[in-house]
Amino acid sequence: MANSPVIAIGLSFRDRDGNSAKSTIYCVWATPIADAWTLAFGIGDRMLALSNALLYQIELVYRHTVDSPAEPGLDSTVERKILMLVTNTDEEINGMVIPSPGDVFEVVGSYAGIRLDLAGAGALGFADMLLAVDLRTDDNRSFGTTLAAGGLAL
Amino acid sequence: MPRFTHVHDLVAPEPPDVCELAAFPVAVVPYALAALEHRIPKYIWDSASYVRGVQLIRSLQMAILCGGMVDLIESNDRIYRMLDTALYGTDYSVISTDPLVVEPAIEATHALTIEHPDSLLGRAEDLRQLLQNGLNGTATTLYDRELGIRDLLELIKAAVEASDTLDPDMLAKLAEIALLLG
């Protein structure tokens, strides 16, 4: 199947009982983000004209599916995860979960097989990435630039 | 077995945060990390408590990942071995580094035994024997001169008294030195 990147526009509605429902439509990948937001709000207005629920959230998702992906590794298991803990300059700790960790854990010591080897190539690359990009939390705080720890989460 | 249902609209406790030190099996860390992750989603927290509540959860995840009890206990052991070597002269050897095994093992109590003469107690014992033998001529394990300083002074004093060239000042000084030595 050919890769078909799109922007998904999600519009979430809430009824009198607090129940939520999301309506999702799509626009072309190349749509500039400002135009995509304008489009999303315009669609929201049109939907509200057809609905008596409350529109309370709009989200844009840039979706890209890998074209003809290779076979996953034989020992890959997405239920196993690694929790990456990152600190920001406000001394807050934020977390990111990555599924199916490879051989990235310490191999000696009491945390062998459990704790991320911060000296490993993958961890060092991740730490470099944190310094290069301005990641945010879901409430727009700084996610952080220092990879402080990581560990297997089951 | 009843299903565990998480409380929603959690309100995080106000600071200050009282901290405790805990020992735990490291094997439980992956399960604890995942279990705590269920308390991260925004919707389970009261909106005013979300940031602080999540930070409390994250701090516990960080704590169990960073550990430190093993390092702390080992640092205590290092201090013990340093004192043991310095005081008694016990010679420790690292048998393996992962896991760290050092012999001899640390016992619950320590006998008052000097294991090496270069230890503090060994040197103190050396000095004690030196003084005993040097002053009094007492034979010890390390020193066995027949005559101590007191004996020698008495001999000198007797020799001076017996000589024709008696010097009262010299005799007085010898008597004074002998008195100071007890």
Q: Are B116 and B89 in contact (CB under 8 A)?
A: yes
One domain, residues A87 and A59: no
Q: What is the pLDDT of residue A130?
A: 95
Q: How confident is the model at residue A1 (pLDDT cuts 50, 70, 90)?
A: very low
CB-CB neighbors (< 8 A) of A142 in chain B: none
One domain, residues A115 and A85: yes
CB-CB neighbors (< 8 A) of A106 in chain B: none
- Tens of pLDDT along B130-159? 999 999 899 999 999 998 888 888 888 788
Residue of B nearest to A113 (CA): B27
SS3 label, residue A45 = helix
What string of pLDDT tens digits covers the 182 residues of chain B? 677 777 788 999 999 999 888 889 999 999 999 999 999 998 899 999 999 999 999 999 999 999 877 778 889 999 999 999 999 999 999 998 867 899 999 999 999 999 999 999 999 999 999 999 999 899 999 999 998 888 888 888 788 777 766 677 877 877 787 777 66
Residue A45 domain-assigned?
yes
Q: Are A152 and B30 in contact (CB under 8 A)?
A: yes
Residue of B nearest to A81 (CA): B34
CB-CB neighbors (< 8 A) of B65 in chain A: 85, 111, 115, 149-151
Residue A1 domain-assigned?
no
Residue B157 forms contact with A (CB below 8 Å): no
CA dihedral A64, A69, A75, A79 (to 10 degrees): 20
Of A139, A141, A151, the CB nearest to B33: A151
How many angstroms away from the CA of B138 is the closest CA of chain A? 56
- Tens of pLDDT along A3-14? 678 899 999 999
Q: And the tokens for B65?
A: 């990942």
**Full-model pTM:** 0.67
The domain total for chain A is 2
- Tens of pLDDT along B50-63? 999 999 999 999 99
One domain, residues A85 and A149: yes
Residue A73 domain-assigned?
no
Q: Which domain holds residue A59?
A: 6-63
Residues 6+ apart with CB under 8 A from A109: B98
